[in-house]
A and B are shown apart, each in its own frame.
Chain A
Amino acid sequence: MRETFIATTTALLDEDPRTALVLADISAASFAEAHRRHPDRVLNVGIREQLMAGVGGGLALTGMRPILHSYAPFLIDRAYEQIKLDFGHQDTGAVLVSIGGSYDAAAEGYTHQSPGDVALLDTLDGWTVHVPGHRDEVPAMLRDAARHDDRVYVRLSAQENSLAHPDGSRLRVLRGGTGPLVVAVGPMLDPVLEATTGLDVTVAWTNTPRPFDSDGLRALVTTGEVVLVEPYAKGTSAHLVSEALIGIPHRALHLGVGRAEVRRYGTRYDHARAHGLDPAGLRRSISGFVSWTRS
């Protein structure tokens, strides 16, 4: 996904003079050629993430369309107040593109992991959040975001589904059933499909959890039972599920990255297992939810 982001952003810089890229050293080498061609619009501020956001905010104030990029914990967690004030409070926007997600950087440790990025943006108004499940979903997200001035977050990850799905802006049913609804966000689709093999559930998917497809959820929750599987902090979307289903008696299970820090290195597969987000862990949780329903 990172390579797709680099290719698409490089093309956007060539095609649209409004596009500007602000980096804080991360991925700077990959944009060296773009910087040579557009020295005024490819800006590497060094390891200064507060400034990266401030520069993005200033660019937006002059009518440019800034794209900011770094590891999720540096882009979002570290510069949270700059994101809050230098964009939202100024009534401007930007495209924030992160890599690393919740635990791609497993061996790097917790400093390089941001399970809370989407929850942090949920405290702010007007952020569209894209969580692509496959690299081929990325170009359309970036090209669409470059065309307007709103606030957009694109959360890239090393975890990918085997297939790309072209339109994930709303909930799409990818496996029909008569039982509970299981919603997979972004790259959680493949683990969810594997985990629910043989279970009578409906599996729906989106790569755009914000704005949340409340109408789609209401239409699909036929049994009043929903499982939400997100690749970031567990329960991040709980408040939106609750709001969407107000007036509908329902039961919900939220699966995602746990709050407790996993003080182990290893790989992202190890961390998925530790958080119960591997197919086996998901199957345990979802089966328990389903059997509780039927008992």
Chain B
Amino acid sequence: MHMTVMTTPRHPVHTLLSRVTGDAKHAPSAHSTLDVLWVLYDRVLRITPETTEAPDRDRFLLSKGHGPAAYYAVLAAKGFIPEEWLDDLGSWDSPLGHHPDRVLLPGVEVGTGSLGHGLGLAVGTALGLRAQGFLDTRTFVLLGDAELDEGSNHEAIAYAAAIRLPITAIVIDNRSATHGWPGGWSGAPTWISEDGEVAAMSDRTRAGLSVGIPARFPNWSVSVVNGRDHDEIEKALRPVAGRPSLVVAEV
């Protein structure tokens, strides 16, 4: 099977990631987001260091503020923040904390850390953009599978589906949720794709319909991808009209 996997030590973002120190506590989750973040900033998001204040820029909200080393490395690789900042994490003089602060970092849309805030903020952001006529601007939010246990997410999931808001939520599934995956959910599918497209789904996506994370997103467009495969991630992040879109990235 062909995979465009980035995680080779030769990739320049790895050099940058290795400069981010002092985050041992969150190291596994930091690296779980790396490929998705790279695909977003390299292939998908319409945002550059010059357009961080443009009202019609695409929005990316890192809800899962834990383990932001990969986020910082990608922001540095794309020129949003100086590479030198990566050498100093969490100190008094560093703008890079163990959780990101939008006030301190150019290009960072939200300050997060407490779990369960990004999805609601993303819904409001998308609604604000729509109300101002920025209909081509896309809003993305990245969560962790354990973060999904926060009840606030489910307020946003239900509402986004009800109003058919075309946001894209990416859940990094590194199976870190207590009671959440895979044993916490069982039984028959809670919904059937209204387009009858279940048969066209990948085995990975179909498997997620009745158990695991997709079952928690009724009436969202769903795809489950290998969270290391860049082409697969990019394909899953294509716009979906008329309803919210979930991309579960298994890592």
Contact = CB atoms under 8 A, between A and B. Distances in A.
Contact of B120 (A40, A41, A51): A51
Contacts of A81: 114
B198 interface: no
A62 B155 contact: no
Interface string A161-196: 000000000000000000000000000000000000
A58 B111 contact: no
Contacts of A46: 158-159, 162
A20 B117 contact: no
Interface in B141-156: 151-152, 155-156
Q: What DSSP secondary structure best describes chain B's contact surface? A: helix
Interface string B115-126: 011011111111
Contacts of B114: 81, 85
Contacts of A43: 127
B55 A62 contact: yes
A266 interface: no
B127 A55 contact: yes
B121 A86 contact: yes
A82 B120 contact: yes
Contact of B111 (A50, A60, A90): A90
A131 interface: no
B159 A63 contact: no
Contact of B123 (A58, A60, A64, A89): A58
Contact of B110 (A48, A53, A61, A64): A61
A45 interface: yes
B124 A41 contact: no
B128 A86 contact: no
A59 interface: yes
Contact of A58 (B55, B126, B152): B126
B244 to A, nearest CB: 14
A86 B63 CA distance: 12
Interface stretch (B18-26, B32-40, B43-51, B129-137): B129-137
Given A81-B114, A90-B110, A91-B102, A20 B131 contact: yes
A81 B112 CA distance: 12
A46 B162 CA distance: 10
B152 A54 contact: yes
B124 A55 contact: yes
B101 to A, nearest CB: 8
Contact of A59 (B101, B127, B151): B127
Interface in A237-256: none
Contacts of B156: 48, 51, 54
Interface centre among B119, B131, B159 (most CB of A within 10 A): B131
A100 interface: no
Contact of A48 (B103, B127, B159): B159
A67 B116 CA distance: 22
8 contacts: A45-B155, A58-B127, A60-B128, A61-B124, A61-B128, A62-B128, A64-B132, A89-B111
Interface of A: 17, 20, 22, 40-41, 43, 45-46, 48, 50-51, 53-64, 66, 81-82, 85-86, 89-91
Given A50-B155, A54-B121, A60-B128, 11 more contacts: A40-B127, A46-B158, A51-B152, A54-B152, A55-B120, A57-B124, A59-B131, A62-B125, A63-B128, A64-B132, A86-B121
